[in-house]
A and B are shown apart, each in its own frame.
Chain A
Amino acid sequence: MIATPVGTDSQLVIAPMLIVLAAATATLLLGRYPRARAAVSLAGGIAYAAAVAAIDWYIVLAPDAPGIATYQVGGWPAPFGITLVADGLSAFMLTMVAILGVASLVFSTRHLPGGEERSYYFPLFHFLALGVTGAFLTGDLFNLFVWFEVMLMASYVFVAYSGGPEHTRAAFWYVTLNLVGSAVFLLGVGGIYATTGTLNMADLAQRLAEPAAYGLEPAPVVGLFALLLSVFALKAGLVPFQFWIPSAYRAAPPQVTALLAGATKKVGIYAIIRLTFTVFAGAAVGVDLSLPGVTIAGDSPLPFIGAALFIMATASILVGGIGAVGRDSLEGVFAYSSIGQVGFIAMPVAIATTATAPGLRKLAIVAALVYALNHTLAKGLLFLSVGTVRSATGTSRFADLGGLAMRSPPLAISVFVASLALVGIPPLSGFFGKFLVFDAAARARAGPVLVVLLVGSLLTIAYTTRAWNRSFWGAQTDAVETASIDPVQVAVLAVLAATIVAVGVGFEPVYEFAEIAADAAVDTEGYVDAVAPQEASDLIDSSANGGDH
């Protein structure tokens, strides 16, 4: 199906989006045939993973791969049309989503919560994946907004999915917050368009690098980017934008929460990395900010962004860790833990923004990506295990659980592996994530950061131990004794646990992939060259056609 070799302009880029869109439509049409629906859905998921694997190999990893490929939607040249771009960073993110997405789909074919709303489960699942995929692939700022909305719309319905007063309230909160977030996103996008005259990320990077050549006055861009940063932080769940997470994660079905924590959160992180390093890193915009005690000044907006990220990451690690210690249910612990873990991902990003040496910047981005991969695998597994426990015992509260380890050793081993990965025990994937984050912090000579990371790690040990003790050890409760645990679900968990071990043991290729992704993130020049935005005068066609969007 795929012609080789792939050029820098390839239809392969749009393939994953088309596949999930087709799967979403097909499952919608098959609403009355549950078996066919599940089969088509699974086939769609596997085809999606195959398309992502093809992007990984033909565009990024193969010896003669171009490293970056674009697809100009509708044949409109950049920056007038929407450009889709697949480079190392996008491919790395897509790979994480594909692994977790397929696991969650297989899991979902075994047990779907709810009654008649089940017929909408799979279409929504694919629309969620579509939004995430689009956000990873788009090279246009407004298009990023649209994909965010696609993703959010599906997740709104999932949060309200199970019905019940609690869930509806959680959904209303979630919707309200994100609608305000969308309005703020529009403000940022509109302002950037008015300031720079473009929405194409490559064109934006080019114009910001030489504002004088384009006759721009780029100073407002820093503030507008801060607006965007707050929206991305809301999606990623960084403190102080974290308060929607616990209730929303508790309300959504666990197999979807796995995806919300593993994939949609990473969209926020991805957007921060992409815009900060690919678009704004080269911006020649002076920042002169003096607060009591701190003065941020320079020719680049990055230190300003870095300072904001440092504060948010530190607060996330502490709030998430402390919050997780006191929860009384499995998903409560894991939801708060997600807040803390995203802090661990944002911290190296913050280090990368302030790093002046290119080597350190790259190392820090690699650390963030490896940590993100570990979080997706481990937290995905843990939320799926909540689904298993809940469908087997009908509860996930610590008060009603105990002795699960004796009831189902394979389930217990999988959860144990994921918990150890969160803590960061070698040779699991989490060890390398944590090691690289600490390494980056140490090389940046950031003492306070090391202290925060250490405290966060200790808190991680505390809450994973507590969750394990309360639900897996001890005497079996009635709910656990009568539980019938689904073997296929446990098999999915075991495969994910094996993946965590495999990533840790065979870390070399994973590290290389992350390194390629980090290179792609900082390679503004390569990005601009691949997208090749044209001047309006190149296209003499009266005025610029507004045929996009």
Chain B
Amino acid sequence: MTAVVLAATIGALFALGTFLLLQRDLIRVVWGLAIISQAANVYLLAMGGIAPAVADSVPILAGHGGGAPQTADPVVQALVLTAIVIGFGMTAFALVLSYRVYEEHGTLDVTELGDRR
């Protein structure tokens, strides 16, 4: 069940991010980038596997002081932490750039930024 919900969430996030990315407004494009990178993070987290929802997999219920059960893969959490930090920096940079585009072009509409040649 959890797996289905997670998969659906990740899929919805990617769809939403792609939709926003294809908009004409630059701020929406930045939102799209942020959502896509977050979707990738959720996906990475999901790749660590999902512990079964039973009492023995919850550390506080499984035992006091003894060995706690392993509920999730710590490696993917370390990866996600790195990816979040990188994504944060990139999103901030993209926002700054879109502000500069607004200053220099006076518009945030992608189609009005002139031809690309």
Point out the residues of chain A lying under 8 angstroms from B47, CB to CB: 190-191, 193-194
- The reply on B70 being an interface residue by CB < 8 A is yes
Establish whether residues B75 and A175, one from each chain, have CB atoms under 8 Å apart when the complex forms: no
Establish whether residues B89 and A169, one from each chain, have CB atoms under 8 Å apart when the complex forms: no
**Which single residue of chain A is at the shortest CB-CB distance from B86?**
A149
**Which single residue of chain B is at the shortest CB-CB distance from A178?**
B90
Establish whether residues A179 and B36, one from each chain, have CB atoms under 8 Å apart when the complex forms: yes
- The reply on B98 being an interface residue by CB < 8 A is yes
A-B pairs with beta carbons under 8 A, tally: 103
- The reply on B76 being an interface residue by CB < 8 A is yes
Q: Is the interface of A mostly helix, strand, loop or mixed?
A: helix
Q: Which of B61-80 contact A (CB under 8 A)?
A: 70, 73-79
Interface size, A (range): 35 or more
Establish whether residues A183 and B74, one from each chain, have CB atoms under 8 Å apart when the complex forms: no
Establish whether residues A186 and B97, one from each chain, have CB atoms under 8 Å apart when the complex forms: no
Q: Which of A496-549 contact B (CB under 8 A)?
A: 543-544, 546, 548-549
Q: A183-B36, A183-B37, A183-B39 are in contact. Are A153 and B93 (CB under 8 A)?
A: yes
Residues 28-69 of B, flagged 1 when their CB comes within 8 A of A and 0 if not, give 010001001101110110011100000000000000000000
Task: Give the distance in Å from the alpha carbon of A94 to the alpha carbon of B98 in the complex.
Answer: 35
Q: A142-B82, A190-B76, A549-B79 are in contact. Are A176 and B104 (CB under 8 A)?
A: no
Interface size, B (range): 35 or more
Establish whether residues B101 and A168, one from each chain, have CB atoms under 8 Å apart when the complex forms: yes
Q: Which of A403-423 contact B (CB under 8 A)?
A: none
- The reply on B24 being an interface residue by CB < 8 A is no
Establish whether residues A183 and B40, one from each chain, have CB atoms under 8 Å apart when the complex forms: yes
Residues 151-183 of A, flagged 1 when their CB comes within 8 A of B and 0 if not, give 001001000100011001101110110011011
Residues 17-30 of B, flagged 1 when their CB comes within 8 A of A and 0 if not, give 00001000010010
Q: Name, among B41, B43, B97, the residue most crowded by chain A CB atoms within 10 Å (CB to CB).
A: B97
Establish whether residues B83 and A180, one from each chain, have CB atoms under 8 Å apart when the complex forms: no
**Which single residue of chain A is at the shortest CB-CB distance from B35?**
A183
Task: Give the distance in Å from the alpha carbon of A334 to the alpha carbon of B33 in the complex.
Answer: 30
| Least distance between B74 CB and chain A CB atoms (Å) | 3
| Least distance between A254 CB and chain B CB atoms (Å) | 19
Q: Name, among A145, A179, A182, the residue most crowded by chain B CB atoms within 10 Å (CB to CB).
A: A179
Point out the residues of chain B lying under 8 angstroms from A186, CB to CB: 37, 40-41, 43-44, 83
Task: Give the distance in Å from the alpha carbon of A146 to the alpha carbon of B86 in the complex.
Answer: 8
Q: A149-B86, A549-B78 are in contact. Are A165 and B40 (CB under 8 A)?
A: no
| Least distance between A287 CB and chain B CB atoms (Å) | 23
Give which listed residue, A171, A187, A190, contacts B97 with CB less than 8 A: A171
**Which single residue of chain B is at the shortest CB-CB distance from A179?**
B33
| Least distance between A66 CB and chain B CB atoms (Å) | 30
6 A/B residue pairs, CB under 8 Å, sorted by A: A183-B37, A190-B40, A194-B49, A543-B70, A546-B73, A549-B75
List 3 A-B pairs, minimum CB-CB distance, nearest first.
Answer: A546-B74, A194-B47, A183-B40
A residues bordering B, Cβ < 8 Å? 142, 145-146, 149, 153, 156, 160, 164-165, 168-169, 171-173, 175-176, 179-180, 182-184, 186-187, 189-191, 193-194, 199, 247, 543-544, 546, 548-549
